[in-house]
Amino acid sequence: MNMKKTIEEELRNMNAPAPDITALLDRAMTEDLVDVAYATVDSPVGQLLAASTPKGLVTLAYTEGRIEDVLERLSERVSPRIMEAPERIDTVRRQLDQYFEGVRKDFDLDIDWSLSSGFARKILRATARIPYGKLLTYRDVARKAGNEWASRAAGNALGSNSIPIIVPCHRVIRTGGGLGGYTGGLSKKEFLLDLEGALEV
């Protein structure tokens, strides 16, 4: 068995009738045989893949058509026991919809920080506390994480942020006002900041 495949893929490869697959998937969920549940989410900034563990949301990735790459990364770094389970992602989807509609300014979700560690995790936790519509510089975030001279390390941590939007790395800019980089591309960063009213007209 290829452990990098999701549980759902393995079951489908067995050529079982659809009802049997559904029953097996339901059983896997109820018997806690799944460590990572995922679903795709449509948004104004493109398709996202949201994945959760029992601890909370572990990733929210811009798929850019590379869903398998995201799942393989989760399989290698979190657990190979992965299954598509949209109902487990309903709360994430609902809060994202509210955010993009402009009616939600704070996310109320548990976060699983498994994909970050050390100083990078401190940077991401500091970033998670940046208020809606506010901007901080890389140095500001590094200072909040305990080392104001670690701007480059802050940039690297934000560039590998596995939970963009929810952990709002789009709210971090360069000293002097330049937008800096963004894992989803600058156009997405501009869209999110414009949505939040953070960009000057």
Instruction: Indicate which residues carry an active-site annotation.
Output: 169
Q: How far apart are CA 13 and CA 39, in angstroms?
A: 20
The residue to which tokens 């979700």 are assigned: 109
What's at 68, amino acid-wise?
E
Q: Is 167 within 8 Å of 128 (Cβ atoms)?
A: yes
Q: What is the DSSP string of 15-38?
A: T--HHHHHHHHHHHHHTT--SEEE
Cα–Cα distance for residue pair 179/193, rounded to 1 Å:
10
